[in-house]
Structure 1
Amino acid sequence: MFATPAFAQTAGAAAGPDGFLAMIIQFAPLLLVFVVFYFLILRPQQKRARDQAATIGAVKKGDSVVTAGGVLGKVTKVEDAFVEVEIAPSIKIRVVKSTLADVTPLGSKPAND
């Protein structure tokens, strides 16, 4: 044996902080990861969801819409939970409001025109 038992016992005691401080030092990186995750991932996603809900809630007659299924059309009637969309001349479908993916206000032009 290279070390006596007394030396081995004292060497381990001086290795790091004890008690509450050691616990804080161990949890600090984990807490930092959660804070960064919240600010980089969760907050922008919640803001985007609020903006999308506000846009869908403000849909009105004459707006151009795109559904989650990719159907494009013009809003002809708005109800509480449903929207009537004209997808071709004299062809109208009822769509659940929450499935609208994009709303373009009346009178706006596409980017490529």
Structure 2
Amino acid sequence: MRNFVYAGVPDPSAAGNTTSAAPSAASGLFQMLFLLLIFFVMMYFLVILPQRKREKQFKKMISQIKRGDTIITSGGIIGKVIDVKKDTLKIKTSNTTELEISKLYISKVIKNKEEE
């Protein structure tokens, strides 16, 4: 009988074949759980924590808007705040143009220069 080797694995029926014991299922499961834990900890510090920080800064910026501040929207519109409501702002973009926009679309607030 010939002993054939297929892809580096000897024939299990070959005489004198010694096989090494595979790692136990418990240690493999522990390693997998440990790697998953490390992955989630890294994701927390690299993605979730910075996102929370940006959200807090945005909420603080939005809550401090008052009449007379100049804002820039995410669409690039620059205007002066003339009225602040619960979820929206009314801004004046030129002499006669007034827009009402949602607070969610504000990207930057430029404070009134008279106060500084």
Give the letter aligned to residue 84 of structure 2: V
User: In structure 2, what is the Cα distance between the partners aligned to 1:107 and 1:87?
Assistant: 17
Q: Within 5 Å, give how 1:1-113 maps onto structure 2.
A: 1=3, 3-4=14-15, 8=18, 11-13=19-21, 15-16=22-23, 18-107=24-113
Shifted more, 65-74 versus 91-100: the winner is: 91-100
Which of 1 and 2 has greater Rg? 2
User: In structure 2, what is the Cα distance between the partners aligned to 1:30 and 1:82?
Assistant: 43
User: In structure 2, what is the Cα distance between the partners aligned to 1:4 and 1:86?
Assistant: 90
Q: CA deviation at 1:76?
A: 0.8
Count of aligned residue pairs for this structure pair: 103
Give the letter aligned to residue 89 of structure 1: N
Q: TM-score w.r.t. structure 2 length?
A: 0.75
User: In structure 2, what is the Cα distance between the partners aligned to 1:91 and 1:101?
Assistant: 20
User: In structure 2, what is the Cα distance between the partners aligned to 1:24 and 1:101?
Assistant: 46
Which has more helix, going by share of residues?
A: 1
RMSD of aligned C-alpha atoms? 2.1
Superposed CA deviations along residues 44-79 of structure 1, whole A, max 9, x for unmatched, are 012101211221122110111011211001101111
Could you tell me which runs of 5 or more consecutive residues in structure 1 were left unpaired when the two chains were aligned: 109-113
Q: CA deviation at 1:22?
A: 2.5
The sequence identity of aligned pairs, in percent, is 26
Q: CA deviation at 1:85?
A: 0.5
Could you tell me which runs of 5 or more consecutive residues in structure 2 were left unpaired when the two chains were aligned: 4-9
